[in-house]
Amino acid sequence: MNVLMQQLDEYRRNEDGSVIQGAAHTSKLLNHKYRNRIIMTTYSYLKKLNIDYDSIACCGTSGLMIVPQIAELLKKNIIIVRKDLKGYSKFYVEGPYTKKYIIVDDLICSGDTIKHILKSIDIESSRSKCMGVYSYIKDECAYRNHPEYCKKDLGIEYL
């Protein structure tokens, strides 16, 4: 089966029929077929954007499962923003200096993750500008039907 045509219901099942456990949106990323579909769909969409940016920011495990591949395809830098400082690093933000960046995240519910990314990057590099946010699981995103509210709520465009 062509992975780009895979039915959404299939992402939770392995070839033997067993179910991948976990949150539904995380399970999509853990299934390699669906993850590849997300990567290619996101890449195709972002490469058509008519905005200037040099980096893609992400937060958490889900972001790190797809953003490196997309950044490589688009020839963009990666900015990693940690959710907390539990672990080996003492830095919330890691990556090269960026003038303009976009945020790529799985979905936006409350906007807390996006606010955290914006605030963390602003503390590290107040001259950096966020050009917008892209949600790669649009069907679960709070702004899917009203992208104009993203600018009002978070101060950035919903891409």
Q: Please give the backbone phi and psi of residue 16, each rounded to the nearest 5 degrees, phi first.
A: -85, 0
Residues (pLDDT < 70) of the chain are: 1-14, 19-24, 87-88
**What tens digit of pLDDT does each residue of 16-26 get?**
877 666 666 77
What pLDDT is recorded for position 3?
46
pTM for this structure?
0.84
**What tens digit of pLDDT does each residue of 104-138 get?**
999 898 999 999 999 999 999 999 999 999 999 88
What pLDDT is recorded for position 102?
98
List the chain domain ranges: 18-154
Give Cα 70 to chain centroid, integer Å: 10
What pLDDT is recorded for position 9?
55
**In angstroms, rounded to a whole number, what is the distance separating the alpha carbons of residues 134 and 107?**
8
What pLDDT is recorded for position 26?
74
DSSP sequence for 79-118:
EEE-SS--SS-S-SEES---SEEEEEES--SSSHHHHHHH
User: In the CATH scheme, what architecture does the domain 18-154 have?
Assistant: 3-Layer(aba) Sandwich (3.40)
